[in-house]
Structure 1
Amino acid sequence: MNQQEIKQEIEKLIQKVESDIELVFSLRLQNILDELNKMYIKFVKSDETSYTDLNKYNRLSKELDNIATELSEDYKSIVSMIAEMNETIYVENYLKTAYLFEVFASTEMGFAPPAKSLVQISLRNAIKYLTLPLVLERHRNEIVHRLNIEISQSLIAGEGYWKMAKRIENAVNFSKKKARTVARTEGGRALSLSDEQVYKQASKYATVTKVWLSALDNDVRNAHRKLDGEKADKNGYFHFKGMKAKGPHQWYVAKMDINCRCVVIYLVNGMLPELRRGRDYRDANYQQKLADRIDKYMEDGLTYAKALKKAQKEVKPPNVVVPVQTYEEWEKKFVA
């Protein structure tokens, strides 16, 4: 186990919720189109009279109200999905990173499973009006308003069902993308806050240094690309153009936090923690060779994450006969 593997597991949790959100919007889109199609078949005489036909007896108004009600339920489920994901990310990252640090450093660091109430308090957004339910409520109101406009304008223009369906699809897909961005941002924030709590606890027993890792691809914003490989100051802060943060998603500035995929990894007593049976990752010679190889690849233009991944494949630690305590064995100490 190493820190990158823990982050990869967290990434899978975020991707799972993104997929679940996709499904929610896909089902809602299909439902809206099915209901409007039924109305067209039953009531519309021609495209030119469609607005009048569907407005008769408040048919359109009732359907728009129904769409709004169903979207409210959809967004409630999305809020629950993301909130549950956040708690899972926080706890899993906290315990697995704590395990890695303790076993690697051969030091009891006083870690314990975080209480659910404390996790929920930690996850509350520090910025007023940017709590998860409020953000998604605003998104829900936006899509309801947009669908009302798109459907009404399409009917007034006499565009016909299929043109209207395309308008609806575009509106729903736009909102789906925004909801996925919220999930990605919230998941990253939960990870970062969990990392920070591990850092605070581990720093009581070892010298722990934060290193900023940008994402592996070319979509990273320029500010975060410049932070790649940077170490935090002695107080645990990263700095960029007069701003400071303890980690990704903790700038509390939209352009620095939204949809960020960066992470922080840690050096423990100047070394990169990693655990494998039969390997001595604490060997000083190995750690120095690894650090030198990372520096070389970064000079060649690789991101820290890519340089680290490549260096770990090429530089191997010496064998050791001492067995490594597994995560499952370590976790048992918390069972009453």
Structure 2
Amino acid sequence: MKNQDDLDQYLDQMIEEAERKIDQLFANRLKEIKSQIAAMYEKYSRNGELSYTELNKYNRFRKEMEVMVTEIHQDYRELFKLIKDLMEKQFVENYLRSAYLYEFEAQVKMGFTIPTAVVIMAALENPIEKLKLPNVLEAARNEIVNDISIEIAQGLLIGEGYAKMAKRIENRVHFSRAKARRVSRTEAHRVQVEGRLRSAEKASKKADLKKMWVSTLDTKTRIGHKKLDGKVVDRDGVFKSIYGGVGKAPGHMHNAKDDINCRCSIIFLVNGKVPEVRRARVEGENVVIPYQTYEEWEKQLKKVGKHG
């Protein structure tokens, strides 16, 4: 890792890996739900048709849904853990790796230490109550449970066969998967940026820092965020979006149209320069901190933490 671009790529790869795990989680659930529905048709259908009345006898429908709901609840507990673990890693990795870059660019020790559990938990907490991760995932879980129940009931009432019923459920699960991916990326991005902001706050006591908005310039990038690309403000300054958001960084604009699924980043200029770790510095530069890999730097930091 030489600079913040390399770091952003590393962090994004981490998010993409989590998204693949989310995809697999929902693919497994869809497979199980389809299998359960197929078994319902096999056990309770008459002449190849399964009616709502037939399935509702002896509370069959309620019992089938209870099984489905229990399994979906377990999936969302796993999803919560997956996203929370991702958020913790995003914060810590960006905080420390950014600190590494600042120190080597400024050529001064800045007193960084490994973030404590209390600091990490505080960074992960969304300040908006309804957007806190447990609340968001609880609402999403209840939504998919309710929607699947309605889809099955409606399909049975109009006499759909297994194929059409399975397609109904598939569409519903895919919708919930997309929402889970969106929550994962949005929250991971929020705490990732928080990590860089906090490391810059500490580094600013030893060097002059300004921040620059960096957009992911592709067809998915919001027009308003393309307009912000390259804009430089003071370390504690704010950015203003054409969508109405005002905030200290991407993902922190306090506006859903700016923050949801945002992939933009910030780069902190250290004493007017984009920070970079170089094996050989330019002749005449003051070398206070010799070259180290990030792994060597982190190991030294942990050693200081144990004896400090």
TM-score, scaled relative to structure 1: 0.85
Say if 1:209 and 1:268, in contact at 8 Å, map to a contact too: yes
The residue identity in structure 2 corresponding to 1:83 is: K
Partner of 1:123: 124
Distance 1:32 1:106, change over 3 A: same
The residue identity in structure 1 corresponding to 2:219 is: N
Distance 1:57 1:205, change over 3 A: same
Partner of 2:276: 274
Q: Provide the identity percentage.
A: 45
Aligned ranges for residues 177-188 of structure 1 at < 5 Å? 177-188=178-189
CA distance in 2 between counterparts of 1:61 and 1:10 reads: 44
The residue identity in structure 1 corresponding to 2:145 is: V
CA displacement, residues 65-124 of structure 1 (integer Å, 9 cap, x when unaligned): 221121111111111111111111111111111111102211011111111111111211
Aligned ranges for residues 192-211 of structure 1 at < 5 Å? 192-211=193-212
The residue identity in structure 1 corresponding to 2:156 is: L
Partner of 2:259: 257
Is 2:6 aligned against 1:5? yes
CA displacement, residues 168-207 of structure 1 (integer Å, 9 cap, x when unaligned): 0000000000000000001100111101101101111111
Partner of 2:79: 78
Aligned length: 299
Partner of 1:329: 296
Q: CA RMSD in A?
A: 1.9
Which deviates further from its counterpart, 42-51 or 26-35? 42-51
Structure 2 residue runs without a partner (length 5+): none
Partner of 2:38: 37
Partner of 2:97: 96
Is 2:52 aligned against 1:58? no
The residue identity in structure 2 corresponding to 1:193 is: E
Say if 1:93 and 1:194, in contact at 8 Å, map to a contact too: yes
CA distance in 2 between counterparts of 1:80 and 1:207 reads: 38
Partner of 2:241: 240
Is 2:172 aligned against 1:171? yes
Q: In structure 2, the residue corresponding to 1:69 is in which secondary structure?
A: helix
Say if 2:211 and 2:232, in contact at 8 Å, map to a contact too: yes
Say if 1:104 and 1:282, in contact at 8 Å, map to a contact too: no
Say if 1:86 and 1:186, in contact at 8 Å, map to a contact too: yes
The residue identity in structure 1 corresponding to 2:45 is: V
Say if 1:47 and 1:158, in contact at 8 Å, map to a contact too: no
Cα distance, 1:128 vs. partner? Answer: 1.9
- RCO comparison, higher one (Cα < 8 Å, 6+): 2
CA displacement, residues 250-309 of structure 1 (integer Å, 9 cap, x when unaligned): 1121111111101101111111111232354997xxxxxxxxxxxxxxxxxxxxxxxxxx
Q: In structure 1, the residue corresponding to 2:129 is in which secondary structure?
A: coil
Q: In structure 1, the residue corresponding to 2:86 is in which secondary structure?
A: helix
Structure 1 residue runs without a partner (length 5+): 284-319
Say if 2:211 and 2:233, in contact at 8 Å, map to a contact too: yes
Q: In structure 2, the residue corresponding to 1:104 is in which secondary structure?
A: helix
CA distance in 2 between counterparts of 1:233 and 1:282 reads: 29
Q: In structure 2, the residue corresponding to 1:264 is in which secondary structure?
A: strand
Aligned ranges for residues 202-221 of structure 1 at < 5 Å? 202-221=203-222
CA displacement, residues 2-32 of structure 1 (integer Å, 9 cap, x when unaligned): 1011111110111111111111111011001
TM-score, scaled relative to structure 2: 0.92
Distance 1:63 1:127, change over 3 A: same
Partner of 1:27: 28
Distance 1:48 1:326, change over 3 A: closer
Which deviates further from its counterpart, 156-165 or 214-223? 214-223
CA displacement, residues 204-233 of structure 1 (integer Å, 9 cap, x when unaligned): 111111010111311111221111111124
CA distance in 2 between counterparts of 1:68 and 1:139 reads: 13
Distance 1:281 1:173, change over 3 A: farther
